[in-house]
């Protein structure tokens, strides 16, 4: 049911339209002129979804009324009616923001079709606006966890500075989301936020991506290309998975952090860029330094402020709130309205340890929304791993004298040997395919 306001100086038309739309199940109010219509719009506590107004009226015509409505009540849809239809009037009405245009005389079926179409368009606009707002608002900011709230408070304070930051935490905890929020809180928020993933490219391509290259610097370099650092001038560069940065590039990044200068690949001109660095890692960087995989001087240059992002199991009080949030946004995106969790699904969500963290939770809810039937998310709509106990480990435990890295390497090797695909192995290990690929590369597992 929609709330309609009918504006026409002819009493018979008002009564006829009111009677018809009430019979269609809508709530209808009427006004004999534009000023009465504006008064009704201002007085309506719930507002009107659509205004159906005549074009020619004394004192203020329908086009002028349309302008006032668009200025004061931007969410209302307006359909103009006129007995003097011209192309010029129709174009003027649509340019002024009318949802549609009706020529008198019209049939009730015709006006119903136009009104229902305008109401559907309004509904889509409202839903899209709500979806954008829900997607833009970061769920990590709504935390009940004292640890997470303390982290956010520290991040806000650090955002106002120019200090280099390291975000440390497991994959899927939201380090990239937090980095973007820090940029948004900082004085640099009006400038670019540029992401560089240190894992996905070869050393040569990563150097070109980060620092840019000159024409002819390597095969395929057919023209000069600025890098991500130049693109981020005045803004922030987010270096994701900094521990995977090749050793040869670590020295070049160190120089940039010290001097804010660099040369493109194959170039001699020194370029100066003002960009703040935020780095992220899912590893213990001190161990990477001790193992010789990360330069000690680069580590100390990066490690001005370190923010440890907790795993989802360490902020269990947020699981249900995050699940509800993801349910609302996913349901809206997939046009599944009024979905809710069954009690047993809530229990399963809260019991599970979420090795994939917030990312795994979001994906699980998305899957449940798509596969569920009816208006309730049941336990069986969730991924099997959430409510089934993990399979028993059939392999003998490694020697207790083995290091943690050796234990992890051996476990990954065994899971890969048993799995048909990388996706299956990653699911068994409770990590993403990208994380599994990095660990294989790190441990030299074929």
Q: Over the stretch 307-328, which tens digit does the pLDDT of each residue have?
A: 999 999 999 999 999 999 899 8
Cite the residue boundaries of each domain of the chain with CATH code 3.40.50.300.
Answer: 141-308
Cite the residue boundaries of each domain of the chain with CATH code 3.40.50.2300.
Answer: 3-135
What is the radius of gyration, based on Cα positions, of the chain? 30
Question: What pLDDT does residue 86 have?
Answer: 63
Cα angle: 361, vertex 159, 231; to 5 degrees = 85
CA distance 410 to 403: 11
Nearest to 56, CA basis, from 110, 28, 106, 93? 93
Report yes or no: 214 and 196 within 8 Å, Cβ to Cβ: no
Nearest to 361, CA basis, from 405, 393, 318, 415? 318
Question: What pLDDT does residue 235 have?
Answer: 96
Question: How many CB atoms lie under 10 A from the CB of residue 153?
Answer: 10
The 3-class secondary structure across the chain, one letter per residue, is CCEEEEECCCHHHHHHHHHHHHHCCCEEEEECCHHHHHHHHHHCCCCCCEEEEECCCCCCCHHHHHHHHHHHCCCCEEEEEECCCCHHHHHHHHHCCCCEEEECCCCHHHHHHHHHHHHHHHHHHHHHHHHHHHHHCCHHHCCCCHHHHHHHHHHHHHHCCCCCEEEECCCCCCHHHHHHHHHHHCCCCCCCEEEEECCCCCHHHHHHHHHEECCCCCCCCCCCEECHHHHCCCCEEEEECHHHCCHHHHHHHHHHHHHCEEECECCCCEEECCCEEEEEECCCHHHHHHCCCCCHHHHHHHCCEEEECCCHHHHHHHHHHHHHHHHHHHHHHCCCCCCEECHHHHHHHHHCCCCCHHHHHHHHHHHHHHHCCCCEECHHHCCHHHHCCCCCCCCCCCCCCCCHHHHHHHHHHHHHHHCCCHHHHHHHHCCCHHHHHHHHHHHCCC
Question: What pLDDT does residue 211 have?
Answer: 95
Please state the pTM of the whole predicted model. Answer: 0.63
Nearest to 199, CA basis, from 442, 445, 444? 442
- Residues 17-61 have pLDDT tens digits of 999 999 998 999 999 998 898 888 888 656 788 899 888 887 888
CA distance 139 to 325: 7
CA distance 114 to 107: 11
- Contacts (Cβ under 8 Å, ≥6 apart) of 217: 208, 264, 265, 266, 267
Task: Supply the CATH classification number for the domain 315-387.
Answer: 1.10.8.60
Q: Are strands 261-263 and 270-272 parallel, antiparallel or unpaired?
A: antiparallel
CA distance 345 to 360: 16
- Contacts (Cβ under 8 Å, ≥6 apart) of 159: 182, 183, 185, 186
Question: What pLDDT does residue 394 have?
Answer: 46
Report yes or no: 171 and 302 within 8 Å, Cβ to Cβ: no
Question: What pLDDT does residue 196 have?
Answer: 93
Report yes or no: 237 and 287 within 8 Å, Cβ to Cβ: no
Cite the residue boundaries of each domain of the chain with CATH code 1.10.8.60.
Answer: 315-387
**Any idea which fold 141-308 has?**
Rossmann fold (3.40.50)
Residue 284's Cβ-side half-sphere holds a number of Cα atoms within 13 Å equal to 6
The stretches in the chain having pLDDT less than 70 are 44-46, 84-90, 127, 129-140, 388-404, 420
Q: Are strands 50-54 and 77-82 parallel, antiparallel or unpaired?
A: parallel
Task: Supply the CATH classification number for the domain 3-135.
Answer: 3.40.50.2300
Report yes or no: 85 and 103 within 8 Å, Cβ to Cβ: yes
Question: What pLDDT does residue 188 have?
Answer: 95
Question: How many CB atoms lie under 10 A from the CB of residue 255?
Answer: 15
Nearest to 101, CA basis, from 74, 122, 77? 77
Nearest to 282, CA basis, from 174, 204, 210? 174
Burial grade of 335 (CB within 10 A; 0-12, 13-18, 19 or more): exposed
Question: What pLDDT does residue 404 have?
Answer: 66
Tokens of 265: 């690949």
Question: What pLDDT does residue 82 have?
Answer: 79
């Amino acid at each position: 049911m929609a709330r309609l306001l009918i504006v026409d100086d002819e009493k018979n038309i008002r009564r006829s339209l009111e009677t018809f739309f009430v019979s269609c199940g809508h709530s209808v109010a009427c006004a004999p002129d534009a000023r009465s219509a504006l008064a009704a719009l201002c007085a309506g506590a719930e507002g009107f979804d659509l205004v159906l107004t005549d074009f020619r009226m004394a004192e203020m015509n329908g086009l002028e009324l349309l302008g006032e409505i668009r200025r004061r009540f931007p969410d209302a849809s307006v359909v103009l009616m006129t007995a003097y239809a011209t192309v010029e009037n129709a174009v003027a009405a649509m340019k002024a923001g009318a949802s549609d245009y009706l020529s008198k005389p019209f049939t009730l079926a015709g006006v119903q079709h136009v009104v229902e179409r305008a109401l559907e368009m309004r509904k889509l606009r409202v839903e899209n606006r709500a979806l954008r707002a829900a997607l833009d608002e970061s769920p990590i900011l709504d935390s009940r966890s004292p640890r997470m709230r303390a982290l956010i408070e520290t991040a806000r304070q650090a955002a106002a500075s120019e200090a280099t930051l390291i975000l440390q935490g497991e994959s899927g905890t939201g380090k990239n989301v937090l980095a973007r929020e820090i940029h948004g809180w900082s004085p640099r928020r009006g400038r670019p936020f540029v992401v560089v993933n240190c894992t996905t490219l070869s050393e040569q391509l990563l150097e070109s991506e980060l620092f840019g290259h000159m024409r002819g610097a390597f095969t395929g370099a057919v023209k000069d290309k600025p890098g991500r650092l130049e693109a981020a001038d005045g803004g922030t560069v987010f270096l994701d998975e900094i521990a995977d940065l090749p050793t040869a590039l670590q020295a070049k990044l160190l120089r940039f952090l010290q001097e804010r200068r660099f040369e493109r690949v194959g170039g001699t001109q020194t370029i100066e860029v003002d960009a703040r660095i935020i780095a992220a890692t899912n590893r213990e960087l001190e161990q990477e330094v001790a193992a010789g995989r990360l330069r000690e001087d680069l580590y100390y240059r990066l490690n001005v402020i370190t923010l440890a992002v907790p795993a989802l199991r360490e902020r269990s009080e947020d699981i249900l709130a995050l699940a509800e949030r993801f349910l609302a946004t996913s349901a809206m995106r997939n046009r599944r309205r009024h979905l809710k969790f069954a009690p047993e699904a809530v229990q399963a969500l809260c019991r599970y340890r979420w090795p994939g963290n917030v990312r795994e939770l979001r994906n699980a809810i998305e899957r449940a929304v798509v596969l569920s039937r009816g208006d309730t998310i049941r336990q069986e709509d969730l991924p099997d791993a959430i409510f089934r106990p993990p399979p028993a480990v059939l392999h003998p435990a490694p020697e207790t004298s083995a290091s943690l890295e050796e234990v992890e390497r051996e476990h990954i090797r065994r899971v890969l040997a048993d799995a048909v695909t990388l996706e299956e192995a990653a699911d068994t290990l409770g990590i993403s395919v990208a994380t599994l690929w990095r660990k294989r590369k790190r441990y030299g597992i074929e």
